[in-house]
Each structure stands twice: as C-alpha cells, then as structure tokens.
Amino acid sequence: MKALTKTINVMRIKKSRKYSVFLSFVIALTSSMLTGCDTDNNSAELANAVEVESLFEQGLLVEEITIKGAHTRIKAGETQQLNAIGITNGGTNVDVTNDTTWSSSDITIATVDENGLVTGIANSEVNQGIVIITATSNSTGISGEGQISVSDVVATGIKLNQPMSDGSNINTCIAVGITGDVTYADGYISMNTASGMSFSVDEASTATIDSNGILNTSSANIETTSITATLDEFTDTLSVTASPVNLDVIDILFDDEIIETSTLAMGERMLVNGQITLTTGETLYNIDTAINWLQADGSYLGITSTGDNKGTVLALRTGDTQLIGNCGGKQTAVTMTVTGEDDIESIEINQDLDIYIEPLGSIELTLTADYTDSSLSSLNVSEFAYWSIEENGALKGEYINLGTDTASYKVTSIIDEASDVTVTATYNGEVTTTTINIEELSSSE
Amino acid sequence: MKTTASLIVLLISISFPSFANSADSYSVDSYLGIDYVYSDIEFTDERTNPNSIAVRAGFSISRIGLEAQYLQATNTDNIYRLTFDLEQSAALYLLMKSKVYNGYGVDVLAGYASTKMLVTGSGNPYNEEDTYQGLSWGVAIHKEIPYFEQAKIRLGYQSLYRDDYMEITAISLGVMYQF
C-alpha cells in the first residue's frame, strides 16, 4: 500500500512538472509576442489619405492655393500679412492661412511666421529684393507661391485700381478695399497695395474711407465718390460709383442669429450686427461698417455708432422703442424693451474729486449716473452725455473707448500754461460741472 | 503598454501552478474552428468593413492554452475612392477559458496579430500594401450545440490592431469542433 501511494505521488509530481513546463512555455511565448517587434507601417499616411478622400467627397479638398497680399514691396522692419486662399474641388474659396506651412526662399531678406506674416529683415537691391514666399497645405501638400520685395528704393508713382475688375459699380453698403499699384525707381511694381498710402474722399460724398483704404458707402442713391490716395509726394485719384440697386434685405443679428425683438435690463449691454442680401444671389454680406444705427424715439438706448465697437447698445431708460438699422435706402428694425428702474439720484464726474493736469497733459473724465435702484447702483454714461468745455482755448476733448464700460471723455490741455477750465456734462436733464486745474504739479502730487 | 500586458500575464500565470498541484486530473482540449468575420477598420471620422473567413486551431490544458488564427479576406470595402482589402491576418494567442456552465463558456485571448492590408485608390494617389502588427486581444462566448457533442457555436470580438491613427477590430461568428 505504501509503495502504491508512493507510486501515485510520483506520477502526480511528474504530471505537475510537465504541466509547469507547458505553462512556462506558454507564458514565455506569449510574453515574447507581447513585447515583440513593433509595427512598421504607414498608418499615419493612410489616415491622411482617408481624410483627403473625405474632404474630396464634401467638395472641400483644396486643389490650388493662391497667395493674397503678395507682389508687394516692404522695407526692412516692416511687415506684410499674406493669406493663403485655397480653391476647392467644389469650386469654393476657403482661407487656409492657418492650415498651411509657410516658408521663405531667403530668410536673410524676409521671414514668414506660421500665420503668414512676412517681416522684412534686410533691404536688398539684388533681383529687386524679391523673395518667394511659399504656402504648403498641411493636409494635401498642395502649395502656392507669392513674391515679396524688401527694398528701400523710392517710389516713382502710384495708380489706383478699380475695385471691380470689370469696372462695374460696387454695391452700396458692402465695404470694398481700394488698392493701387506703386512703381519704384528700380522698375519694381508693387501691385494691389494700400501700404503706406493715405486716403481721402471728396466732401460732397457720403462715403467714408479708412486708413487701410476700406471704402464704406451708405447712400440711398447711386453715388460717385472721388477717392484720393497719397504716397510720399505722389497722388492719384479714382472715381468709384456705388449703387444700391441690387440691395435686397437687411437683417439685424445678435450672437449670429437674426432677431426681431430683444429685452435688456437697465444697464445691460449687447452688440448687434448688420447683414444684407442682394437680389442677385444668396450670399450674406456683413455691413457693420456701413450700417447706420438709430432708435425710433426717446433715449431708451445708447447706441455706439462709430469705431471698433459700433453696434453696441446700452439700455439707459426703461420702456419700449425700436432699434433701426439702415443703409442704401434699406431699413429694418428690432423692437427693444428695457426693464428695471431708471430713476437717477445724481450724476457726477470722476466721483466729484478735484482734477489736476499738467500743461499739455490729459485726463479721462467719466460721468457716472447713480440710480435709486440698488440692484443697478451706478452706470457709466460718459458716451451718451453732452460734454461742453468752457471756451478759453485751453482744452480740447474727445470721446474714447466707445461701446465699453470704460468709455470716457478725454480732455487734453493744448496750451503750455496754467489755467482753470470748467467742463460741463449734461445727461437726462441733469447737469454737473467740474473744474480742470491746469498747473505744474510737484513730484509729491 | 506591451510591458504592462506582459507583466499582467506573468502575474496571472504565477497562480497557475497551484492548479497543477491539485488532486484533479488535467483536461486536455484541442479544437478546430471556422468563423465568418465582420471586420471594422476605423479612422477618426471614417470606417470601412471588409469581411473575411477565419480558421482557428488551439489546445488547452486545464483551461489555459494556445490558439492560432488565420484570416483570409472574402470581399473588399471602400471609403469613397479608397478600396480596403484585408488580405490576410495571422495571430497567436494565449487562451484562457472559463468553466462551462449550462453549455456556455467564455474565452479570453491575449496575444499578437499580424494583418496585411492592401489599400488602393482610383483618383487618389495612395496605393500601399502594409502589415499591421502588434498586441491583439479578444473575448468570445461559445455554446455547446445540443445533440452534437463536441461542437460549439462561437461569437467573438477581437482587436487586431490599434494605434493613434486607426484600429482594426473584428466580430466573428462560427463553429468549433472539439477533439
């Protein structure tokens, strides 16, 4: 019996060893596979090819790139923003400036950053200072080129170009850029540029033009504007005709949605935008720079009508009114309701503190209205007050930071001598004054 | 990832000798199986589903063993103008089997797969045949077929390949015969 038991135990041990050996082999084999050689394939390229196919299917695959803003001359230290415009297989244009890799053919003359901003490094007379800037699509590898010239050779003439290549009228209310060709002494021609030019329009026109050559028109009638551009001692004049014939419908937008009504609490601010459609198509055009904003009646709203924050609306008095946007003879309105309490307790300039400035110095004046409603407490109404300066020729004033909570009336001393000048602010029937003391200030003040 | 998986497998295996020392006798199973495979090749925003036939063979001792698998494409599938052909795939797995309850059992597989895929494009310049190798894992459930001892129906899910750009997975349905 003992021998039998011993034999059985030996057999169990042998089986156990065999099983352990088998198990060790399995584990070793599996472990070696798990830590085995890594994959060697082009899954990244394949994934990119799939993405390209998806874009092609959607008609969004960029098949050609053109560079906008190129073929122009800058000096060392100046910059020029280029944009890469992709033409898709669907026939549309897309801005791919930030989806491309930019490079310069000679970084000793000009560099370009990842956003297409070219910086002139050194003026060059070799090959008219021309550098080739290349934009290569990150997804398709398609590239486009443009040239930039970096040189300080003097200009010899300018010629403004019609904004419409066929010379036809522009559409009123839709901003257009006015550019010209600049000829230089070495024969180089900077094309379609506004760089370095100053612009003006004739006084009879209702159009405006900014320092970048952006022309804004708003007349309800066909209007021809004479535009003058000056570069150094050279000048050119261009007649541009704007027509409202094709204008269709104006919409007022808030947060990119068309609105017909809106409610604001006292002291609340909102930014509205204007857009227009043409009878000739479905494209929507932003007309923020050309649209005129006004309210139907009363002073329920404070509307910023110029500057970067044009279209900002501030609720100033409780009640109902209409916010109207018009341009080119077209008009639309939004019913605005202002809620809350609008009883003013007092108004004050710069918290009624004494104001001192040095001769030729300046200070910002803020008119604050204090309300009886504790939930509102006070409101900066500087932008919508009427300011007047005592007429002694010592101060001039201008509104700044329009459309913001920090809007103010900035007064600047224009004579280099001491003086005391009274400034008056009138708002909602309330009047307050302050004295600007112009004098040399000691270091302790 | 691979090192961690190896360590996990090793740690699990340390406990197995205790089974080896049990008084129970060892069960040795070997089997052969054939599956229809619905594969899924997934990219960020697109996917395609070429199908295959898989043959598998394996054996286990006391519910742990090895399984070898071979996959052959039966058709191709497209992402727009790109045609995907999952030509063939070979894999070797460590097999861990659960106990069978009421005829149902679960298998867990961990191992290595090598998958060859041909992608061709008409109008798209991409034309490449590549091999995708790496860690592979799977899980399957099987059920004994009534009145047909040794035969089981099997439903499985596998991940054949995965990286930052794509993943190849498969759902398989088939039968296996146990010897």
CA separation for the pair A427, A414 (Å, rounded): 26
Q: What are the tokens at A325?
A: 């946007």
The average pLDDT across A261-288 equals 94
Q: Which of B8, B12, B13, B116 to mutate to test the interface with A (most CBs of A within 10 A)?
A: B13
pLDDT at A17: 56
Instruction: Give, as one character, the DSSP assignment of residue A430.
Output: E
User: What is the model's pLDDT at position A444?
Assistant: 45
pLDDT tens profile A38-77: 456 789 989 989 998 998 999 888 999 999 999 999 999 9
Look up residue B142 and give its amino acid.
Answer: H
Contact A34 B110 (CB under 8 A): yes
What torsion, rounded to 10 degrees, do the Cα atoms B169, B172, B177, B179 define? 10
Residue A41: closest CA among chain B residues belongs to which residue? Answer: B130
- At A144-185, the pLDDT tens digits run 999 999 999 999 999 999 999 888 999 999 999 999 999 999
Q: Quick one: what percent of chain A has pLDDT higher than 90?
A: 74
Which residue in chain B has the smallest CA separation from A61? Answer: B124
CA–CA gap between residue A242 and residue A227 (Å, rounded): 12
Clarify whether residues A146 and A110 are in a common domain: yes
Domain boundary residue, one of A283, A305, A339: A339
pLDDT at A10: 53
- Gap between the Cα atoms of B13 and A23, Å rounded: 8
Same domain for A180 and A109, yes or no, is no
How much is the average pLDDT of A404-418?
A: 93
What is the reported pLDDT for A40?
A: 62
Query: Do A331 and A402 sit in the same domain of this protein?
Result: no
Question: Which region among A126-135, A378-387, B12-21, B165-174 has the lowest average model confidence (pLDDT)?
Answer: B12-21
Q: How confident is the model at residue B28 (pLDDT cuts 50, 70, 90)?
A: confident
pLDDT per residue as tens digits for the range B68-113: 999 999 999 999 999 999 999 999 999 999 998 988 999 999 999 9
Query: What distance in Å separates the CA atoms of residue A28 and residue A35, rounded to the nearest whole number?
Result: 11
How far is residue A187's CA from residue B44's CA, in Å, rounded to a whole number? 52
- Same domain for A367 and A396, yes or no, is yes
Q: With 60 as the cut, is the pLDDT of residue A375 above it?
A: yes
Distance between CA atoms of residues B54 and B74, nearest Å: 10
By Cβ distance, the residue of B3, B43, B61 closest to A50 is B43
Tally of CA atoms within 13 A in the half-sphere of A401 that contains its CB = 13
Query: Is residue A142 located within the same domain as residue A81?
Result: yes
End-to-end CA distance of chain A: 115
Give me the mean pLDDT over the B34-38 stretch: 95
Tens digits of per-residue pLDDT, A296-330?
987 899 999 999 999 999 999 999 999 999 999 99
Q: Is residue A291 part of a domain?
A: yes
Question: Is A11 a domain residue?
Answer: no
Q: Which residues pair with A243 in a beta bridge?
A: A171
Closest Cβ–Cβ partner in A26, A51, A56 for B94: A26
Handedness of CA A187, A192, A194, A200 (dihedral sign): positive
Alpha carbon distance A70, A193 (integer Å): 9
CB contact, 8 Å: A284 with chain B?
A: no
- Can you give the pLDDT at residue A265? 95
Count up the domains in chain A and report the number. 4
* Contact yes or no for B119 and A41 at CB 8 A: no
Strand partners, B72: B53, B88
Position A444 in a domain: no
CA distance linking residue A43 with residue A49, whole number of Å:
10
Q: Kindly state the average pLDDT of the residues A128-136.
A: 97
Instruction: Give residue A41's pLDDT.
Output: 74
Domain with residue A414: its CATH number is 2.60.40.10
Measured distance CA(B116)–CA(A413) in Å, rounded: 81
Q: How confident is the model at residue B4 (pLDDT cuts 50, 70, 90)?
A: very low
Smallest CA-to-CA distance from B85 within B117, B61, B115, B58 is with B117
Percent of chain B past pLDDT 90, that is, above it, reads 68
A419 within some domain: yes
CA atoms within 13 Å, Cβ hemisphere of A7: 4
- Does one domain contain both A202 and A116? no
What is the ipTM score, two decimals? 0.82
Which pTM does this prediction carry?
A: 0.66
∠ CA B19-B25-B31 to the nearest 5 degrees? 90
Would you give the DSSP letter of residue A317? S
A128 lies in the same domain as A205: no
* Contact criterion met (CB < 8 Å) for A30 and B111: yes
Domain assignment present for A52: no
Q: Which of A309, A339, A369 is the last residue of a domain?
A: A339
Structure tokens at A317: 């008095």
> Of B3, B43, B132, which is closest to A47 when you measure between CB atoms?
B43
Do the Cβ atoms of B162 and A38 come closer than 8 Å? no
Chain A, residues 39-58, CB within 8 A of chain B, namely 39-47, 49-54, 56-57
Q: Which residues in chain A touch residue B26, judged by CB atoms under 8 angstroms apart?
A: 15, 19
Query: Comparing C-alpha atoms, which of A139, A165, A145 is closest to residue A71?
Result: A145
Instruction: Label residue A260 exposed, middle or buried (CB < 10 Å: 0-12, 13-18, 19+).
Output: exposed
Domains and CATH numbers, chain B: 27-178 (2.40.160.20)
Contact yes or no for A285/A174 (Cβ under 8 A)? yes
Higher-pLDDT residue of A213 and A281 is A213
C-alpha span between A250 and A220 (Å, rounded) = 13
Chain B nearest CA to A201, separation (Å): 52
Assess whether A125 and A194 both reside in one domain.
Answer: no
Give yes or no: residues A85 and A140 share one domain.
yes
* Band (A445; pLDDT cuts 50, 70, 90): very low
Residue A1 has pLDDT above 80, yes or no: no
Nearest Cα neighbor of A218 from A170, A280, A180, A257 is: A170
pLDDT at position B26 is 60
Is A325 a domain residue? yes
B92 against A441, higher pLDDT: B92
Buried b (16+ CB within 10 A) or exposed e, A169-201: bbbbbbbbebbbbbebeeebbbeebbbbbebeb
Q: Is A21 domain-assigned?
A: no
CA distance A441 to A417: 12
DSSP string for residues in A208-233: EE-TT-EEE---SS-EEEEEEEEETT
pLDDT of residue B162: 95
Residues A289 and A251 in one domain: yes
Confidence of residue B147 (pLDDT cuts 50, 70, 90): confident
**B53-79: average pLDDT:** 93
Do A220 and A204 sit in the same domain of this protein?
A: yes
Q: Say if residue A106 is in the same domain as residue A189.
A: no
Residue B16 pLDDT grade (very low, low, confident, very high; cuts 50, 70, 90) = very low
Domain limit, last residue, from A243, A278, A299: A243
Which pLDDT does position A36 carry in this prediction? 45
Q: Mind telling me how many Å the CA of A13 is from chain B's nearest CA?
A: 8
For residue A32, is it within any domain?
no
Tokens linked to B173? 């349905």
User: What residue numbers bound the domain in which A146 lies?
Assistant: 57-150
Q: What is the pLDDT of residue A4?
A: 62
Q: Is the pLDDT of residue B24 over 80?
A: no
| Mean confidence (pLDDT) of chain B | 85
